[in-house]
Structure 1
Amino acid sequence: MIVVMKTGSPEVEVNRLTEEFSSWGLSPEKIVGSHKVVIGLVGETVDLDPRQIQEASPWIEEVLRVEKPYKRASREYRQGDPSEVTVSTPNGAITFGEQHPLVVVAGPCSVENEEMIVETARRVKAAGAQFLRGGAYKPRTSPYAFQGHGESALGLLAKAREVTGLGIITELMDAADLEPLAEIADIIQIGARNMQNFSLLKKVGAQGKPILLKRGMAATIEDWLMAAEYILAAGNSNVILCERGIRTFDSKYTRNTLDLSCIPVLRSLTHLPIMIDPSHGTGKWEYVPSMAAASIAAGTDSLMIEVHPDPKKAMSDGPQSLTPERFDQLMRELSVVGKAMGRWIEQPALAAV
């Protein structure tokens, strides 16, 4: 249930109402929109009469029920206003959101060694990426496949950030690794295989670092939004949704089916920022450019592209990785689409790093 305050409502009255709703056993959350303040009421609201709430203050404009099972993640919870996730990086603050320029995240599937991750970071930054992605802990289908270097790889990511100033995105698999990973990561990734690991979602929701929540391989959009609700309900409002392809009946030609229709669907259902990962979505580097361009045209807020200095020697996901040279070319191509969509800011000339 949401309480929409009238334009110009005094802050003291908003605070008074918040305290009163708390005394009713509810969890009120103040949401400051572009034009109005909304108080979200979470708890047992089924038996509450909206008229009873309306009478609590002359400054209340209307009281609405949120019909979606994902309350905090629903677009109506913010009265249609999109949310923003702003991340401080050594190169400055970067904002993910519907009304902001496209954010590009790039890097290898796994951190292999210092030379490889630092050189890749230099190259993707020079091409215009704002964040470096790289796995320290890697969930793999086979127990015999490379699982990542673990905590030692976090130090290598820190080195890459020191050299380039890029923000860092890396995946958390186990709550036991949250503290050391959060010291390095600017954004914590929850991978597709952990999308419904609810105890892990509660843990990351109880801390302040932004969360990148990847869609599960067989998850519906509602499953995905309910997973985001776990993080939001635990207190962390900084959530980015990442589509990375889902399992369908046709797996002969691509690794997964990249569901670009989720972009307009999510826009109508949620206020959360959207990222698209065409690398995992297709599994083949040659399909990544067209799907990346299509993602921008469809309205994504961010892209995650896998880049490796020598994909044939990559310890994981080489077939879907672009070389730095191909990534350079891709960024030039994407700038055309991005500018046409009003989502692209030309990167300033970068000094050597």
Structure 2
Amino acid sequence: MTQANGYAATSPSARLAPFSFDRRTPGQLDVALDVLYCGVCHSDLHTARNEWQNTVYPSVPGHEIVGRVTAVGDLVSKFKVGDLVGVGCMVDSCQHCAPCADGLEQYCENGFTGTYNGPEQGTGANTYGGYSSHMVVRESFVLGISHAEADLAAVAPLLCAGITTYSPLRQWKVGPGHKVGIVGLGGLGHMGVKIAAAMGAHVVLFTTSANKREDALRLGAREVVVSRNADEMAAHAASFDFILNTVAAPHNLDAFLALLKLDGTMTLLGAPASPHPSPSVFSLIMKRRRLAGSLIGGIKETQEMLDFCAQHGIVSDIETIRMDEIETAYERMLKSDVKYRFVVDMATLKAA
């Protein structure tokens, strides 16, 4: 065992604070890494404050992790000491169900092991995430990083926001000649715009804020529609091949379903605290439209995403913070006061 230092929540109302805990000694198939950067995801806040009613305390959040390998087990073949690597939302799965066999560990029939808030396979122990000095992770859940070292902080959010948007865009075969809508310009939405544009699609950003127009165009959108403007929405009726909806607040889905052409699909990524109003059946049946959902991505697809982003020069737009600024970051995140992802520089952990 080795002692790790991190930041943890000890109750729903407690501020995150320094916390020491044990990491396992690397086994034959394990990779040990020092955490260099960790992105701040809204899921971290949900979990720290027990908003999903499933948090096991103490809770060390963080699942957008970039680090450097410090040790490898005897049977590890993909990585060596000194390599730059990533760890995303999962650190294990059952490895024997049909989804796992197909590289879809996020849909493991026995439940994947989250990078934090476990439970660990076999033992059921709680897992601790990337707001920490170092980690020990099974080799098959570690990703290779090929971006330049200067970009590492901005690479971290790709491990969640990047794969969460990349996976459905690939699943529905987005590419040249497709008209694609991205709903919302936040941590997920800004990655959706960048990735869909790199795939060759004609990207239209939907936002409730007209002041986001310039930023959306900078990120790769070809058009921007203010969704509260009925005329702007009507101008795009029945014209989209695919819409990626990243908004995590309840809203009228029919307004966007009406924009899909025959056999078009809208995929939901956001998980609102209360349900969306039910869409009209006629919004779906009149043009054989589809309403779908998507959850992160498997390990193979996550590696594919990282390689794609490196090839196309894609990283997240970030603001780097110190570890002791995490609570301030949470409060700003609730106000959408970040463009577009906070990332903790873990070199500041020791001082914190």
TM-score, shorter chain, exceeding 0.5: no
Using structure 2 for the length normalisation, give the TM-score. Answer: 0.27
TM-score for both structures, normalised by structure 1: 0.27
Greater percentage in helix = 1
- By percentage of residues, which structure has more strand? 2
